[in-house]
Amino acid sequence: MDKKRASGVVLHVSSLPGPYGIGSLGAGARAFADFLKAAGQRYWQILPLTPTGFGDSPYQSCSGRAGNPYFIDLDILVEKNLLERDEADAARTGDNVDYVNYGMLYETRLPILRKAFGRARQKNNLKKTREFEKQNASWLDNYALFMALKGSYDMRPLALWPDADIVAREPSALKRAELELAEEIEFHKFLQYEFFIQFADLKKYVNGLGVKIIGDLPFYVSEDSAEIWTEGELFLLDGPAKPSAVAGVPPDLYSETGQLWGNPLYNWKHHERDCFKWWTERIKHLSQFCDIVRIDHFRAFHTYWEIAADEKTAMAGCWRKGPGMKLVDALREAVPDVDIIAEDLGELDTKAHRFIEKSGLPGMSVLIYAFHPSGESVYLPHNIKPEKVVYTSTHDSPTFVDWLIREATIDEREFANSYLRLREDEGLSWGVIKSAWGTPAKIAMTTMQDILGLGADSRMNIPSTLGGLNWRWRVRGAALNMEVAERLREVTHVYGRLKKPSITA
């Protein structure tokens, strides 16, 4: 991590402004990077870049390595003469700039991208794509075949695929599928090339502004994923693509019955015998996209919650021992130049806390959890240690304003108001931003929602729920203005996270 005090903003790619129904890797992303630079910020944190899965969640993806094709910027494809201007314009969705319409994208985006693929083939413009395919064959071949098959089965989940020989990966059945679906396989490889090349260009631009990208590594993969289908030995399965136990967490603040995620659990004995190669390759892959990696659900390195696959809630689970420091050390050795943040939120016992401290990785402190009226929370700003990364709120929590107005108890609200000296005339969330920036933590982060003082309708996700506004919020381009940037820059300067107080200084 940087030794100097610094700060940044959490905003997922899907939430970026733009005319095509979802954020992309084009002009909207560069405009946000320019906003961060103007605001004196040194970090941009994003959520997983993988395709969204069940419930439109980026944490339930069909691949642990593929990029989300929805993020491919159509204007860049026009510049490359792979799309006509009117074809890209047909994807504009000017009626709703505040939320992603995943249903519309599901129906319309791939047909547009197929036109770009068709032109690339016509122009024999796939030489670089072929090079990319060779470099990424270890995961791309399996992923492209998986997606081609999934499309041929009307996008049904792996557990409902009708061909048992395909599910069991019988060699002759796979060979037949590769021949029959050759063009579709090529299409999915083309999409990954376009995603990767666009993101590489974006990262170069962002880093050139002095801004680093914090990426996100989900701990688990989805049961409906290429990995479960092709690398079953890595997971606890009762048969091809059939988990014997699944992941979640016991009852907590978010759910009285716990959170039943449904992700297959890992066969840690196999991973250890293989020197954690799958994990190290995965984090090496992610390091192409980011400068710092946040590992989600890091406590599962120590202990994880195991639930029988046929359970309807997470209540009947039990704790199992995770891979521990052996995996931490393997990741450090594999990517020594990439810093790691350990997402250590939730109910942790003393042993789990000690493990995280022993790992030496910075954990997270979230201020909306700080204001218990007892005044003894370890998340209170004056209690936060320098090695922690402090957040005003997260993608899984309410925004600060939503928490303060709608979810906090009266005593919590009074204590927060007293501690933060909140003022309505400056916007309630600026008090918590100032407090986060003033902590001893070397890195302080806020969300774009908290910068804008937004409420419940801008929340990114409510854990243990499906549908609604989950994963859909987007920021308007007009909100990324110089007035907001100057204000954030001034706060950043006042609390010692930036030397120059103004853009013109």
Query: What is the set of active-site residues?
Result: 296, 343, 396
Closest CA to 203 of 30, 393, 407: 30
CA distance 62 to 359: 30
Whether 368 and 400 have beta carbons less than 8 Å apart is answered as: yes
End-to-end CA distance of the chain: 27
Instruction: Provide the phi-psi class of 34: left if phi over 0, else alpha when psi is between -120 and 50, else beta.
Output: alpha
* Type of residue at 6: A
CA distance 258 to 266: 20
* Type of residue at 241: A
Residue 372 tokens, joined: 């218990």
CA distance 325 to 298: 12
The distance of Cα 30 from the centroid of its chain, to the nearest Å, equals 19
* Type of residue at 68: N
Residue 306 tokens, joined: 């195991």
Q: In this structure, which long-range contacts are made by residues 239-246, counting pairs with CB atoms below 8 Å and at least 24 apart in sequence?
A: 240/167, 240/168, 240/169, 241/158, 241/159, 241/167, 242/159, 242/309, 243/309, 244/308, 244/309, 245/306, 245/307, 245/308, 245/309, 246/307, 246/308, 246/309
Instruction: Count H helices and E strands in the chain, helices first.
Output: 19, 14
The distance of Cα 425 from the centroid of its chain, to the nearest Å, equals 34
Alpha-helix runs per DSSP H in 10-101: 27-38, 74-79, 85-89
